[in-house]
Amino acid sequence: MELTADIYGWVGVGCAILGTMIWRFAGVLLAARIPADSPLMGWVNTMAYAMVSAVLMIILAHPIGVLATTTIEQRLVGLAVGLVVVFFTKRLMLALLCGVCSFALAVTFF
Amino acid sequence: MSDLVYHALSVRQTRWNASVDALRAPCYALCLTMAGFSTIARESGLDFWMTLSTSLGIWGMPGQVAFASLYSAGASLFVIFVAVSLANMRMLLMVISVADMMHLDSHNLSLWKRVFWMHFLAITAWANVAAAQQKYPPHLLFAYYQGFALTIFAFGILGTILGYFLSDLIRPEILRIVIFVTPIYIMLMIINARQKANRLAVIFGGALSPVFFPFAGEWAILLSGVVGGSIASLYSHYIAKWHLETAE
């Protein structure tokens, strides 16, 4: 049983690595051939951004592990503060600091 | 416009400058981000070596997180492959765009060497090489990328190692704050995308996924990506016509 779980884990790691490697490999092959500013490229790019954002929002809205001990309101406060600061200052690290500190305050005091 | 001072730099000096740029802040955030991932991976049931291999072999947060959560759910290998592929699909575009910025072809590297160097590409390195274009001439950007990407990779791996054992050292009240850094950091970075269409896609993708998630599960990522990205693309192309504005 333990061995089976181990095999499942390692083959899973291999599948995950392969699932990322194919894009990097394809990117290297296509780099010289595709004009980066074509409409098709723009579409694929927006899908990639939307997908990353989708993953992050699932982590925030339906977290697993220790993050699930916080409320959705607390997590949204942290996100909102970070977004507001990055929107007005364009400074990523400052926004990250403000967002995380707001979240820390929210989970500590509310 | 590239700065004349930077034009005079050697490849070695450029690599050094890039490492210093990484050491100013991005590498610490990456270290914390990967520590956050490592804790999630541990909670998902991955052992230390699997977690380390995931960071070394994938080196792309969303795909790593998707893998950890699918692993904990006991998803099929096919679903793991598809979900991680989808979560890290952006790598294709990032590689194409960074190779173009750095004039990678002019460095006469073999296919495998190009694949090797592109392995270290993630959002932070990509965004920083794009910013370095303002200072460095194209022929030095590859050296810049090498210095920057390897530095943050080293810190990311260090974070993975430390993060795995952090849950023993840090109380859960503090740990959940550390874990929160990961999604917020990436979200703030992508919402800051230069192209308006991409920023819009971040908003649509992020708004749709929690709606799709209850009935679509992990497929919510694909669904939100395709629907959100397509709406953003169509809106920007046919309604806002942002592509007709001055480039960048």
Contacts of A25 in chain B (CB under 8 A): 115
Do B200 and B148 lie in one domain? The reply is: no
Least Cα separation, residue B172 to chain A (angstroms): 7
- Determine the pLDDT at residue B1: 46
C-alpha pair distances (Å), B68 with each of B48, B58, B79, B84: 12, 12, 12, 10
B59 and B129 part of one domain: yes
Q: Confidence band (pLDDT; 50, 70, 90) for B248?
A: very low
B188 within a domain of the structure (yes/no): no
Last residue of a domain, one of B137, B161, B181: B181
Question: Do B86 and B164 belong to one domain?
Answer: yes
Residue B187 structure tokens: 């979200």
Burial (CB < 10 A; 0-12, 13-18, 19+), residue A68, is exposed
Q: Are residues B35 and B148 in the same domain?
A: yes
> Residue A85 has what DSSP assignment?
H
CA nearest B57 in A: which residue?
A17
Residue B136 sits in the same domain as residue B241: no
Task: Let me know: does B233 contact B201? Beta carbons within 8 Å.
Answer: yes
How high is the pLDDT of residue B3? 63
Q: Output A101 or B244, whichever has higher pLDDT.
A: A101
pLDDT of residue B5: 74
Q: Tell whether B44 lies on the interface with A, counting CB pairs under 8 A.
A: yes
Question: B39 and B175 in contact (C-beta within 8 Å)?
Answer: yes
Query: How would residue A3 be classed by pLDDT, with cut points 50, 70 and 90?
Result: low
Q: Which residues in B lie closer than 8 A to residue A65 (C-beta atoms)?
A: 39-40, 43-44, 179
Tokens of B118: 């592109």
> Residues 156..185 of B with a Cβ closer than 8 Å to A: which?
167, 172-173, 175-177, 179-185
- DSSP-assigned states of every residue in B89-156: THHHHHHHHHHHHHTGGGG---HHHHHHHHTT--HHHHHHHHHHTTTS-HHHHHHHHHHHHHHHHHHH
Question: How many CB pairs below 8 A link A and B?
Answer: 308
Partners of A108 on chain B (C-beta within 8 Å) are 173
**Residue A84 has what pLDDT?**
96
Residue A39, chain B, CB below 8 Å: the answer is yes
Report, as an integer, the average pLDDT of B187-216.
88
* B200 and B175 housed in the same domain: no
Both structure tokens of B120:
């270290």
**Mutation for testing the A interface, residue in B171, B176, B195, B238 having most A CBs under 10 Å:** B176
Full residue range of the structural domain in which residue B117 is found: 4-181
Q: Which of residues 16-35 of B touch A (CB under 8 A)?
A: 25, 29
Please count the structural domains in chain B.
2
The answer, yes or no, to whether residue B47 has pLDDT greater than 80, is yes
| Cβ–Cβ gap A15/B91 under 8 Å | no
**Residue that is written with structure tokens 């790019």 in the block:** A45
Is residue A76 over pLDDT 70? yes
CB-based contact (8 Å) between B235 and chain A? no
Q: Is A26 on the interface with B (CB under 8 A)?
A: yes
For residue A42 the two structure tokens come to: 């723009």
Shared domain check, B233 and B131:
no
**Mutation site for A-interface testing, chosen from B46, B209, B218 by largest number of A Cβ within 10 Å:** B209
Q: Is A108 on the interface with B (CB under 8 A)?
A: yes
**First vs last C-alpha separation in chain A:** 44
3-state DSSP assignment of residue B108: coil
| The domain boundary residue, chosen from B137, B152, B181 | B181
Helix (H) or strand (E) holding A62: none
Mean of the pLDDT values across residues A19-38?
84
Closest chain B residue to A88, measured at CA: B192
Given B181, B202, B219, which residue is the final one in a domain?
B181
pTM score: 0.74
Res A102 pLDDT > 70: yes
Look up residue A108 and give its two tokens: 């500590």
What is the average per-residue pLDDT within B32-38?
82
- Other beta carbons within 10 angstroms of residue B78's beta carbon come to 9
**Amino acid, res. B79:** V
pLDDT digits (tens, 9 = 90+) for B87-114: 787 788 788 878 877 888 889 899 999 9
